[in-house]
Chain A
């Protein structure tokens, strides 16, 4: 779980057309930044999270520099490193000095070069100028040895077949300057940007293609969600929050601290009604087994037929769990994710790839995976157990007959202890700092 510090609230200098905070920006309560309250709240919660809190917004660089410095300094002293997710346009030399001083990883939200980034506008500035400035800042961050990753959103301006080569060239260009990781998320609209989001078929096409491009055709790339898919199938991690059993009203895989120090849950859940659901004390420790706070989703979706918006019979149910509830069909968390086919395609490709290399691999979608709970990351069987060279008849990557399989001894993984937390460091969809 990660803790997101919305230091600027929903205040932002940019005007991204598909921004999930639009409804909240229009109707939500304006909260002023109170640095002491934010730090006090982090202090109370810091031990409950397994990665350092990251700065987010709105646009976190809209806050005064002396306040930014105070927050980063505190976080650096506590965690030895810091991170921030930014649109990137406002980055200047003073920020860069701060990032160096406080060992800050910077996630930049950028959808490509030129026209590809045209939906991430800044009021009063030509789109081309904004994009050039952000790319310039990205390069400058790298020149200063600052860790940078990119959060790109895929939509009709950068992900259609006619834009494909430009998008891939841009990914390669980033690779050349030392940026080989980030996210390639699908734009999601609950009414705010229907004209720019991809159809499900377009999403299948772009993700399928980028899976091949970043995993198979180019080595050393670490773009998500494609890397998540591999981890997920191997049962090593559930991956990004969207593959987890996220309770809609208690979306604590991205727990939030608002600028006035108030606790809240993932703000993607504000997309439908503009509500900011609180993180109440009584919610602590609640699991979806209790069906509370939207956890019932994981009791019902696998009973609902596909044609009715559910996941019944899906081979990858444990891997995907219906996807992010805030990105569900019709904006209704009781349905599965609206890009189901695109996720399915990725799991299919991941499975094909892994079985191609290791025909005897056990994947978390396999019946014999022995999941301790509904999550793929709770797999009890070591995926590569059958490749153990010390095991009789089991030390091969290619002996893949069912006859052989049955003779293999499947040993319980030593990490299967009841109290062990193996979800790993779940990061949230809208940060890659």
Chain B
């Protein structure tokens, strides 16, 4: 039996997207603010770059009205293609799902698929139509099969299934707490602030397939093209910390700062503790 079941989640409750970073002491702001700004943007650069370098078939990116012309130009110049999938409401912070919109305005972005091959992009677009074929999407995005399968199974029940990944890799401390080791390539517990290497949610924090994907695709791309940002990101990801969710709000605590965002509306607090991150 799993520690977190569907009955432990409050029904019909959703916390709108937001994401926040708070420093744990006044003096940490000066040290960490510039680092956070640098490392927080790396993941989005890697999403794009791994496709441009043909290390993955597809990625998903949003085009925003504020700079769509520049984004289109860049995609064309890089020899890539992009197909629209849906119009979504713009939000600040981190979101677990899309908020569909019919009309386009300045608060609408267009979510779409990026590829180096129009056929892959078309395949992705077709697989995105309902009923969504998650297996095809995962393959095109370069996600391990085991993780895609687990995600498909757990996402409907738990919108932010990180506790579920910890249950697979860690040890139970009490009925609501798991202690686990994490691999840097599977580390998704800080993704609300943009701190992660790979894009997919692992089935387990010790998932070997996920580690392989990170080692072969994401980490080499980061090291080659963005070494400085990667160094800072790694410094952040290697820290010990705790991830705690309660009532739809997740609080991730690292020694110098705390990340707060929206998550699963559990009836009580559930916590993941990690004291070690394996490089």
A-to-B contact residues, CB < 8 Å: 29, 249, 258, 262-264, 273, 275-280, 290-294, 296-297, 299-301, 303-305, 308-310, 330, 332, 334-335
Contact = CB atoms under 8 A, between A and B. Distances in A.
Secondary structure call for the A interface? loop
A305 B13 CA distance: 11
A309 B262 CA distance: 18
28 contacts: A249-B260, A273-B24, A273-B253, A275-B24, A276-B24, A277-B22, A277-B23, A278-B23, A278-B28, A280-B29, A290-B18, A291-B18, A293-B22, A294-B260, A296-B18, A296-B249, A296-B262, A300-B15, A300-B248, A301-B247, A304-B265, A308-B10, A308-B267, A309-B267, A309-B268, A310-B247, A330-B269, A334-B269
Contact of A296 (B15, B24, B26, B27): B15
B246 interface: yes
Contacts of A273: 24, 253
A275 B268 contact: no
Contact of B15 (A258, A275, A299): A299
A366 to B, nearest CB: 27
Contacts of B253: 273
B24 A335 contact: no
A332 B269 contact: yes
Contacts of B28: 278
A138 to B, nearest CB: 35
B153 interface: no
B29 A335 contact: no
B5 to A, nearest CB: 15
B82 to A, nearest CB: 31
Contact of B268 (A249, A263, A294, A308): A308
B15 to A, nearest CB: 6
B23 A335 contact: no
Nearest to B17: A291
A332 B248 CA distance: 13
A264 B249 contact: no
B37 interface: no
Contacts of A280: 23, 29
B247 A249 contact: no
Contact of A334 (B10, B26, B27, B246): B246
Interface in B235-279: 244, 246-249, 251, 253, 258, 260, 262, 265, 267-269
Given A275-B258, A291-B16, A294-B260, A258 B247 contact: no
A146 B177 CA distance: 53
A160 B38 CA distance: 56
Contact of B20 (A249, A305, A332): A249
Contact of B247 (A264, A276, A277, A300): A300
Contact of B249 (A29, A277, A300): A300
Contact of A262 (B24, B26, B246, B262): B26
Contacts of A292: 18, 20
Contacts of B25: 29, 275-276, 278
